[in-house]
Amino acid sequence: MKGRLLQYLSCPTCGGAIILASATESESEEILTGQLSCTSCARTWPIVRGVPRFAAIETVAKDKAATATSFGWQWQHFTQADERYEQQFLAWIAPVTPEFFKDKIVLEGGCGKGRHTQLAARWGAIDVIGVDLSAAVETAFAATRELPNVHIVQADIYALPFAAVFDYVFSVGVLHHLPNPRGGFKSLASRVKPGGHISAWVYGAENNEWITRWVNPLRERLTSRMNPRTLLQLSKLPAAMMFAATKLIYGPVNRLTPGVARHLFYNDYLKAIANFGWREQHTIVFDHLVAPTAFYISRAEFADWWREIGASDVITGWHNRNSWRGFGRISSKTIDD
């Protein structure tokens, strides 16, 4: 943890100021071991292996902890970086561009292994804070500790240790895995400064009926309960089928006869991932099978979320015809969490 993170922290229980009570181990700018404490209610939180721990998985509700454990394992085992991440990330947060990050204080809700946190930092944000509940914070910290403007915090999205200090908050691919996606979105929105912005990307209900009908029951009853190592092996079979279909059919047909490709099943999405390599496609399949919780959000419900936080200038869009992205401005009116 870098000392400059302190200016953004605020007690998740009482809203009081948080100070560094002790630092027993440091390495240049990083406090590796120490303790934080609230000046009002005297709550304390440890800093372990460079990461302030506002939530330990054991103390959060069982369903949230299960999600965090599954994804934490995944992100510690799939650590490949991919240049396509950048294009993918920009597509999820469109119309936001790299220039938008310049001189902003940014929060990522659910940073996983920190790949978007890193991009935001490289694009010129003053500070980027990546929050995650899972053990993926270990990977995220290792991946970002050399970047002076990145901070990784282990915390629950529903009990964030920050006041409304952010110019921009984003969350991609996370809210639909929370037990209450709308509540998570509202909690993130409540940390945006008046006049600041928020982006969210979630799975869509529309066009994903085949997943909700066929994949979800399998995921809920079987795959999310399996040992992740076993699932990793098992998921190679559907991943191989998808890989073959994208390389042999969706890729070539979209290049040669786009008019015909339009009629292929789930074409927009499979076309988009046709250029991905094996590991990336395997990750996508594994991701869909490992999650204990996954909601598919309808356009109407997603629109409601934005109305509820009182956002203005909201731009929502359908991404790959299977998910929703949104971007909006938080008005000066206070949001109730």
Binding site for Zn ion (CB under 5 A): 11, 13-14, 16, 38, 40-41
- Residue number, 74 or 187, with CB nearest to Zn ion: 187
CB of 25 to Zn ion, least distance (A): 25
Residue with tokens 């109305």: 307
CA dihedral sign of residues 44, 47, 51, 53: negative
- Residue number, 43 or 49, with CB nearest to Zn ion: 43
The C-alpha atoms of residue 167 and residue 306 are separated, in whole angstroms, by 17
- Which segments within 179-237 are labelled E, that is strand? 192-203
For 50, list phi and psi in degrees, rounded to 5: 85, -5
Residue pair 57/63 in contact by the 8 Å Cβ criterion: no
Q: Which helix (H) or strand (E) holds 285?
A: helix 278-290
Nearest to 326 by CA among 162, 184, 198: 198
Residue with tokens 């991701």: 287
Helix (H, G, I), strand (E, B) or coil at 97: coil
* Alpha carbon 105 to its chain's center: 17
- Residue number, 7 or 298, with CB nearest to Zn ion: 7
- Residue number, 13 or 275, with CB nearest to Zn ion: 13
CB of 54 to Zn ion, least distance (A): 11
* Alpha carbon 229 to its chain's center: 23
- Residue number, 7 or 97, with CB nearest to Zn ion: 7
The C-alpha atoms of residue 223 and residue 239 are separated, in whole angstroms, by 14
CB of 13 to Zn ion, least distance (A): 5
- Residue number, 11 or 192, with CB nearest to Zn ion: 11
- Which segments within the chain are labelled E, that is strand? 18-27, 30-38, 44-48, 51-52, 105-109, 127-132, 150-154, 166-172, 192-203, 311-319, 323-330
Helix (H, G, I), strand (E, B) or coil at 231: helix
- Residue number, 16 or 183, with CB nearest to Zn ion: 16
> What's the Rg (C-alpha) of the chain?
20
One-letter amino acid for residue 24 of the chain = T
CB of 38 to Zn ion, least distance (A): 3
Residue pair 196/291 in contact by the 8 Å Cβ criterion: no
Residue pair 31/49 in contact by the 8 Å Cβ criterion: no
Question: Cis omega (within 30 of 0) on the bond before 95?
Answer: yes
